[in-house]
């Protein structure tokens, strides 16, 4: 990951999770709910294994990931 990667970049990545691979839906709204949930849960689980956050606010990113998970599950 380049040094210029920021908290905003990480959040944008999460917002598009499920759309980054070739052949994936172009918008997150078209990503199957179950797949989106699985990807977000896997991201959240992998956060604790990440040694270098390089200035990225992991608390903020984790909170946003949790909000996204709640939304996909049908919460707020």
- Examine residue 69 and state whether it is found in any structural domain, yes or no: yes
**DSSP helix/strand/coil, 27:** coil
- Examine residue 57 and state whether it is found in any structural domain, yes or no: yes
- Examine residue 1 and state whether it is found in any structural domain, yes or no: no
Given a cut of 70, is residue 76 above it in pLDDT?
Answer: no
Burial of residue 39 (CB within 10 Å: 0-12, 13-18, 19+) is middle
Given a cut of 70, is residue 75 above it in pLDDT?
Answer: no
Identify the domain containing residue 45 by its residue range: 7-73
Mean pLDDT (whole number) for 49-69: 94
Into how many domains does the chain fold?
1
* 40, 17 Cβ separation under 8 angstroms: yes
Residue-wise pLDDT for 12-52, tens only, equals 999 999 998 878 888 888 989 999 999 999 999 999 999 98
Torsion of CA 10, 33, 42, 45, to 10 degrees: 90
The more confident residue out of 5 and 66 is: 66
């Amino acid at each position: 990951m380049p040094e210029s990667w920021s908290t905003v970049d990480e959040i944008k990545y999460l917002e598009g999770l499920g759309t980054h691979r070739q052949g994936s839906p172009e918008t997150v709204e078209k990503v199957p709910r179950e797949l989106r949930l699985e990807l977000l849960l896997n991201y959240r689980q992998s956060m604790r294994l990440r040694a270098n956050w390089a200035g990225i606010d992991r608390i903020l990113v984790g909170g946003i990931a949790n909000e996204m998970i709640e939304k996909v599950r049908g919460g707020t």
